[in-house]
Amino acid sequence: MPPPAVPHGMCLKVMDDRNMKGGMGSATHPLKFMDQDYNSLQDVCLKKRMRFVDEFFPPDPRSIGEGLLEPEVMARVEWIRPMKLYPKAAFIVDTVSRFDFAQGKIGNCWFLASVGALTFQNKLLQKVVPDGQSFRHNYTGLFHFRFWRFGKWYDVVIDDKLPTINRKLIFVKSKTYNEFWPALLEKAYAKVCGSYADMHYGQVSEALMDFTGGVHVHYELKTPPTDLWKIMYRAFQSEVLMGCATPPGNQNEQRLPNGIVLGHAYTVTNVYQVMMGKYPVQLVRLFNPWGRFEWNGDWSDKSPLWNTVSDEDRKQHLQAENGEFWMSMNDFLRTFDNMDICCSCPDFLEEKSACHWISKFHHGSWVPGSTAGGCMNHSDTFFTNPQFWLKINEMDKACEQGQSNVLVSLIQKPDKRNRRNASHHDIGFYVFAVPPEASKISF
């Protein structure tokens, strides 16, 4: 389809982010969220021998938010530092694992499913959870985490006062009583969202992108590509995060007889093929961020089908009630509604290719009466929408055998400080091939 007529000067050149790598807002030099500098605050607390209290996310009902807890419950909340709860409190016990935590009194399974995926990728994990934090060396009650937000990385500081009732954490809980990285990570993300209540309900893709700063690929499982399992398998071999969600139920988080919870997010933790006799079976391993309630059908923990595979394949068999389970790809497609893959680089999309992806970005907006031209049904105004020219240069010789793929991702920046108050508009884009006669136009 040819592009619509465009007035000269209306198109915008796409920006290249290669020159920004290492600059402010990058993973190595993140911006200071709410202008709070971790090192400066740490120095002040050490010199004054004081414990940090965050004025921008204070330990009071404002940070929990409205509607999440009943008033009588809110009145019982006490904010306590981990060292007051347990003198042997630790930021991380042994290693970080998806089995470290279980969901609390917020409907933020979308966030915790993403955290479960993050625990598999050490490089990404170290970006989000900076090293060197503890309750022992230079402890001031100050912690920090990093998230990617709409094009830039931010360093987010928090104090370690956590909301409790009867000295028990209200929200995400660690299965190891004295481990606190999950609760502190959740608190930092709640600060970014505006409050704990602002984390109630969401899409797994949101947190996946905030943990990677990468591209996002979404699949509707009712109409999946024929090679989706192969895509997932290649993705698992790369540095990617994968999550999925079940269809909504008649009631919130309804549990089915087969063990699956409706309206719930899960982590994709492995993609594997076993041989059942002479026949290959494609499997997917999933994790419920509740830390319990598993699929009980074919290839589940107690399925006799594991007795039909080789000893080597049987090593993948799970027997613990920990929220993680296997199922066949066919059952996965029948059971789940959609899935998301998010990564720093989408190499997994091509089976064999020596070329490297180049990322570019541009910030734009739809302005009523100016650049909001509507969809193609509005032929008189469609051309006024923001437009971007993308030129694909000649490929490197190493890439000649591959495909000249282009992946376009569109994200919407919030217009409100609190996540749940942000407007969500139906947005989209069209991709047009520019005819040769138009390629000589200069902008």
Choose, from 108, 144, 264, 343, the residue flagged as catalytic.
264
Name the active-site residue from 45, 108, 109, 338. 109
Q: Is 218 a residue of the active site? A: no
- 288 classed as catalytic: yes
What the block records as the tokens of 63 is 């940070």
In DSSP terms, 360 is beta-bridged to: 16
Catalytic residue among 108, 288, 338, 385: 288
Q: Is 137 a catalytic residue?
A: no
SS3 string of the chain?
CCCCCCCCCCEEECEEHHHHCCCCCCCCCCEEHHHCCHHHHHHHHHHHCCCCCCCCCCCCHHHHCCCCCCHHHHCCCEEECHHHHCCCCECCCCCCCHHHEECCCCCCHHHHHHHHHHCCCHHHHHHHCCCCCCCCCCCCCEEEEEEEECCEEEEEEEECCEEEECCEECCCEECCCCECHHHHHHHHHHHHHCCCHHHCCCCHHHHHHHHHCCEEEEEECCCCCCCHHHHHHHHHHCCEEEEEECCCCCCCCCECCCCCECCCEEEEEEEEEEEECCEEEEEEEEECCCCCCCCCCCCCCCCHHHHHCCHHHHCCCCCCCCCEEEEEHHHHHHHCCEEEEEECCCHHHCCCCCCCCCCEECCCCCCCCCCCCCCCCCCCCHHHCCEEECCCCCCCHHHCCCCCCCCCCCCCCCCCCCHHHCCCCCCCCCCCCCCHHHCCCCC
Q: Active-site positions?
A: 109, 264, 288
